[in-house]
Structure 1
Amino acid sequence: MSGSDETCSATVSVALCITVSLGTPSFAGIPATSVVTSTREVVAGDYDDREGYRSDFLGERFEVSLPQVSRATDDVLTFDDNGRQASVLRYKHFSVVMSRSRRMCFLSACNIDGRLSKKSARAAWKWDPRIPQAQQIMHECYGNPPKFSRGHMTRREDPGWGGDVEVARRGNEDSMHVTNTVPQMQAFNAPIWLALEDYSLQHARQDEMHISVFTGPFFSTHDRAMYGVLIPVAFWKVIAFIHDDTGRLCATGYQMDQKDQLPSAEFVYGEFDSPQLSVATQVPIAAIAERAGIDFGRLVDVDPLAGRHEEGVGATAPLQALEQIRFLR
């Protein structure tokens, strides 16, 4: 600079590009999970190509219809689907049926092809534009503890399969709709329930087999409200597949509750009680059907525990290991 006291200034325009990556922080050497985001507004027409759950997925001889809500039929949410009334939200490889009063799903039904399973990056949570946002729960009860986590019904990895990467990615991203979630305490995913989910997917991958998985909450008059949302306490899962040894259709049912994880001061259930707290149990599918008010069709008859419900046996012993699961009568 010269000895002048005057200050020289100039205005320079610089194009600045900032890339922000959202994901889970890395701890103890565990890699962070990337999150795929999109700025394009999604519209109902974007879902016209979604086939959803397929009843013939296990083979024409083993058709398994989408379970039907049999008790609270008036509470099933309907919506306009290209000029006709529909009640099934179809996604890539899975479908969801919603409860109008509870603003969450009665059930989520997924087809899994173990031969074509692929890993995909985690996507951001999203609304489904086919139904009003007022019929979905995005924020109210979800957040850091003591609020709830968004518990997938159809697990993120389950529909993430296909003949090419794009198809698998679409299934993965579709699982991130809030219509596919139910409030769950973060501690709810006890080891055996998580192991059961891993078992079904890994077994399909290893044996290169097709399976269909149905999951949902038990809605109860005992459910209490937190953050303006009625919180389900218990959940069910039904897995249908062709048995390796018999070559026949087989289905097994499970239930688990998160009562132990819920704040006791907020939840007083009176006569509602379960001896299997926080532990998954294999139960007759007929018992799930009765408690959930859902018709599982032929799956009740191909359950290895079929008949035990009529005999007054509601559940087997709590599952401490996957080897306890009964697949044959």
Structure 2
Amino acid sequence: MADKLDHSAFLRHLARGQDLTGLINDRMLEREEGVRAATADTESAAMPPDVRGAFEAAARGEPLSPAQQFATEAIILPELRPAIDVINDSYGQVTHPLWTKLSNNAGIKARLETAIKSVGRIELPNGPLPYAGTGFVVGQRQIMTNRHVAEIFTRGLGDRSLVFKPGLNAGFDLKRERGGGQGVMLTATRVLMIHPFWDCAVIEVDGLPATAQPLTLSAIPAPELRDREVAVIGYPAFDPRNPAAVQDDLFGGVFRVKRLQPGLLSSVSDTASFGKMVPAVVHDASTLGGNSGSCLVELTTGQVLGLHFGGAYRDRNYAVPASALGADPRVRAFGLKFDGPPPTTDPAWASWWQRAEESEAIVPDRLAPAPQAKPKPATVAVSDNQGGQGGAVVSTAADGSVNLTIPLHVTVRLGGAPPIAAETVSTEAATTEITEKMVMPFRDEDFSHRPGYDETFLKQDGDRDPIVVPMPTVKDDSVVAKTKQGKDRLDYQNFSIKIHAERRLALFTASNVTAESALKRPDKRKKYTRAALSGLGENDQEQWFLDPRLDDELQIADYFYTRDDGAFDKGHIVRRDDVAWGETYDDLRRANGDTYHVTNCSPQVAPFNRSAMGVDNWGDFENTVLTQAASERLCVFAGPVLDPDDDTFLGRDAPRSRIRVKIPSRFWKVVVARVEDGLAAFAVMLEQNLSKMPKAPPEGEEFVMPDEFLKSVVPLKDIEDWTGLTFATELHQVDQYDTIRGGEAAARSGARRGRVRKR
């Protein structure tokens, strides 16, 4: 998505076949005087010279002068592409000169009213955002929306292993109109498909009314859609990417309600989407962030021509062509209604389904178990063993009790347990399921060939100029811990770390991240679950290990995390899933094991670290950036903010040894991606709320960790100010904080945009 508007090209697009002189005259007078001018014959009604000159220059294909650009800035889209309120599944008289047909033409209005009844808002009753986006009915119990919308509350890819994220669910409201038109929220029961190539998802919803009829999807090829008039129907939200005053003017200061937004289709254009370039259809309706998942309804047929998924303000918006979805047998298998027969050959992106199936094989291992009813309390009876036998004996009774002789006789009765067949098991087997063992994950102890972070990782075949993403440097090199060999960084498989000597935590990490299937599953005969790669059982606890290349006193031992009464998680700074890739299975497994070094660990509150408890705070932002990227590779820098004023926790690093550790309250991440026009850098800050944390709890006092956190997209310069790091000039030049991409990354990931302030 371009960050700068090509005014000349956009004006030519808007003016195709239309005489805009009278319209602009009227609109300029209306803006200046507050009322519509009765005539356009007076001198004051004349189109301002810079505005007229802009249209004339555009018609000649010439670039606009700075004055012409400034003059047209406020009128291009707001004055030509309106947003119309939807009330009671309809809309009133449309007075906009270009769009009076919406109400004057009975056929068009009837078609749009039918579509309006089938469009709803995707709700998140207990989610991180007010709502997820827009969806529309495509089947008897099916709605369509964007993949990036569904991924807010869903895990998985493809059409098999798709589940709701633990603790999150979704609903669907067909009303949510201006003036309080809130209907009944229907329950989303399951996710049927998340498309591996297109930004599209299909969700099953219970209770759709008969008035919400499935909309027909067009089979007309995208190149043949140029100049067709459409209405986007959806729920535009206030969008931080766009000027607030213009949004307030266009939408009357009211957002998140159902709107009708007319526009025109133009060419097909490649745009970045989930690590690849996709051929999307372009439209110019006045859409905002909440429109994600909206349908593009053709005025003359009522058919859906596309699925809106993103865009750039006053430049171009993108939609998935409906015909592209109709060309996919996996999409048609859901019984969606298309107005033409399927093609006889598979689409060009068919191979992406195979990639999705390969990634789905990994997903279940990362999912939290489904909620289960809590068992009734067990009753335990203990008596002396009168038999005098030394061996352990386990037997079961018809009432579900278990008798264990070890040489005490213990009877355990689980309330409501069904009778089980009597059998003899070993003592070890009887205790396996209820004991969490401390297990050291698999690791390669030969560090002689670790490549570490690769600054050329984003370079692709065919690049004429070098693509380099340098690691940040440390302003005060004296704070960096030195290895036993005198080096200032620890290289691992696919990532590197620099350690703060006094704090014994990472100053920063630098990692190469990819979603490429060939590197995530290099040997398809192998298993890639956490258990297979790490050697951990379902109930095993990870025992992290010290790095032998660094003195022990420069590291915080695993004991601190496992003997602190659960106050902290061992938070991966470099995520295991991110760097577990390689040309060979051995490379991948080595990278997986390397993430369990305590050098890659920072104390974090449990909900902050555990994706199973809600939003994946570390990973969601990367996934959001990937939706805007042109390749599946990322360079990621991350670490804690080691503030001297951080609060101190008194814990243990050995059975009889106390340790005082300053606990970071903030963690930062910088994600660098390839985009259509080069590189883009995104910076985000995650902050733990440690306001209730005692400075140094008295001996024996239980420590309770608060679980609130805040996510903010911030300027790269702020990361530097608070970490003592310096990022390369070329990354500052592509910092996305003040750009369209940066605003979209914030909106999609549920982050605010703001500067970092001193506490």
* Fold in common (TM above 0.5): yes
| Alignment of 1:117 onto 2:549 | no
What is residue 713 of structure 2 aligned with on the other side?
282
Q: Closer, same or farther in 2 for the Cα pair 1:139/1:164, shift >3 Å?
A: closer
Distance 1:233 1:105 in 2: 14
Q: Closer, same or farther in 2 for the Cα pair 1:111/1:318, shift >3 Å?
A: closer
1:95 pairs with 486, 490, 496, which one?
Answer: 496
| Counterpart secondary structure, 2:558 | coil
What is residue 567 of structure 2 aligned with on the other side?
147
Amino acid aligned to 1:173? G
Q: Closer, same or farther in 2 for the Cα pair 1:120/1:87, shift >3 Å?
A: farther
- Residues 184-206 of structure 1: CA distance to partner in whole angstroms, max 9, x if unpaired? 11122487862551452587599
Q: Closer, same or farther in 2 for the Cα pair 1:303/1:208, shift >3 Å?
A: closer
| Alignment of 1:62 onto 2:492 | no
- RMSD over aligned Cα atoms: 3.8
1:158 pairs with 554, 559, 578, which one?
Answer: 578
| Alignment of 1:197 onto 2:619 | yes
Residue 258 of structure 1 and its aligned partner are, at CA, apart by 0.9
What is residue 222 of structure 1 aligned with on the other side?
645
- Residues 244-297 of structure 1: CA distance to partner in whole angstroms, max 9, x if unpaired? xx231111000011125x643338xxxxxxxxx612110011111111111111
| Counterpart secondary structure, 1:168 | helix
Residue 169 of structure 1 and its aligned partner are, at CA, apart by 1.0
Residue 142 of structure 1 and its aligned partner are, at CA, apart by 1.0
Distance 1:189 1:292 in 2: 21
Distance 2:443 2:634 in 1: 34
Q: Closer, same or farther in 2 for the Cα pair 1:291/1:203, shift >3 Å?
A: closer
Residue 151 of structure 1 and its aligned partner are, at CA, apart by 0.8
Q: Closer, same or farther in 2 for the Cα pair 1:131/1:37, shift >3 Å?
A: same
Residue 183 of structure 1 and its aligned partner are, at CA, apart by 0.8
What is residue 209 of structure 1 aligned with on the other side?
632
Amino acid aligned to 1:235? F
| Counterpart secondary structure, 1:55 | coil
Distance 2:662 2:580 in 1: 30
Distance 2:662 2:585 in 1: 38
Are the equivalent residues in 2 in contact too, given 1:114–1:207 (CA < 8 A)?
no
Residue 141 of structure 1 and its aligned partner are, at CA, apart by 3.3
What is residue 252 of structure 1 aligned with on the other side?
682
- Residues 27-55 of structure 1: CA distance to partner in whole angstroms, max 9, x if unpaired? xxxxx9x9664599x4xxx1110010011
Residue 306 of structure 1 and its aligned partner are, at CA, apart by 5.8
What is residue 290 of structure 2 aligned with on the other side?
none
What is residue 749 of structure 2 aligned with on the other side?
322
Are the equivalent residues in 2 in contact too, given 1:223–1:230 (CA < 8 A)?
yes
What is residue 186 of structure 1 aligned with on the other side?
606
1:291 pairs with 701, 716, 722, which one?
Answer: 722
Q: Closer, same or farther in 2 for the Cα pair 1:303/1:207, shift >3 Å?
A: closer
| Counterpart secondary structure, 1:171 | helix
Are the equivalent residues in 1 in contact too, given 2:635–2:673 (CA < 8 A)?
yes
**Structure 1: tracts of 5 or more residues without a match:** 1-17, 27-31, 268-276, 308-314
Amino acid aligned to 2:483? F
Distance 1:204 1:52 in 2: 22
Distance 1:39 1:177 in 2: 9
Distance 1:113 1:140 in 2: 32
Distance 1:24 1:263 in 2: 36
Q: Closer, same or farther in 2 for the Cα pair 1:305/1:199, shift >3 Å?
A: closer
| Alignment of 1:170 onto 2:593 | no
Distance 2:610 2:469 in 1: 29
What is residue 302 of structure 1 aligned with on the other side?
734
Q: Closer, same or farther in 2 for the Cα pair 1:24/1:223, shift >3 Å?
A: farther
What is residue 447 of structure 2 aligned with on the other side?
47
Whichever of the two has the greater Rg, that structure is 2
Q: Closer, same or farther in 2 for the Cα pair 1:306/1:173, shift >3 Å?
A: same
Distance 1:38 1:151 in 2: 18
Are the equivalent residues in 2 in contact too, given 1:285–1:306 (CA < 8 A)?
no
Residue 61 of structure 1 and its aligned partner are, at CA, apart by 2.2
Match runs of 1:13-52 below 5 Å:
37=441, 42=445, 46-52=446-452
2:507 pairs with 102, 106, 115, which one?
Answer: 106
| Counterpart secondary structure, 1:279 | strand
Aligned residue pairs: how many? 276
What is residue 75 of structure 1 aligned with on the other side?
479
Q: Closer, same or farther in 2 for the Cα pair 1:207/1:198, shift >3 Å?
A: farther
**Structure 2: tracts of 5 or more residues without a match:** 1-426, 460-464, 522-527, 535-542, 652-659, 697-707, 754-759
Percent of aligned pairs with the same amino acid:
26
Q: Closer, same or farther in 2 for the Cα pair 1:207/1:169, shift >3 Å?
A: farther
Distance 1:202 1:284 in 2: 17
Distance 1:325 1:150 in 2: 26
What is residue 695 of structure 2 aligned with on the other side?
266
Distance 2:544 2:624 in 1: 25
- Residues 151-193 of structure 1: CA distance to partner in whole angstroms, max 9, x if unpaired? 1110111110112222111111101110001111112248786
Are the equivalent residues in 2 in contact too, given 1:282–1:317 (CA < 8 A)?
no
Distance 1:25 1:55 in 2: 46
| Counterpart secondary structure, 2:576 | coil
- Residues 76-101 of structure 1: CA distance to partner in whole angstroms, max 9, x if unpaired? 011243xxx31110000000000100
| Counterpart secondary structure, 1:183 | strand
Residue 73 of structure 1 and its aligned partner are, at CA, apart by 2.0
Q: Closer, same or farther in 2 for the Cα pair 1:193/1:299, shift >3 Å?
A: farther
- Which structure has the higher relative contact order (CA within 8 Å, separation 6+)? 1
Scaled by the length of structure 1, the TM-score of the pair is 0.72
What is residue 29 of structure 1 aligned with on the other side?
none
Q: Closer, same or farther in 2 for the Cα pair 1:69/1:187, shift >3 Å?
A: same
What is residue 231 of structure 1 aligned with on the other side?
663
- Residues 220-241 of structure 1: CA distance to partner in whole angstroms, max 9, x if unpaired? 1211221211111111000001
Distance 1:183 1:317 in 2: 30
Q: Closer, same or farther in 2 for the Cα pair 1:323/1:234, shift >3 Å?
A: closer
Are the equivalent residues in 2 in contact too, given 1:120–1:172 (CA < 8 A)?
no
Are the equivalent residues in 2 in contact too, given 1:158–1:201 (CA < 8 A)?
no
Amino acid aligned to 1:57? F
Are the equivalent residues in 2 in contact too, given 1:114–1:204 (CA < 8 A)?
no
Amino acid aligned to 1:197? G
Residue 24 of structure 1 and its aligned partner are, at CA, apart by 10
Residue 125 of structure 1 and its aligned partner are, at CA, apart by 1.5
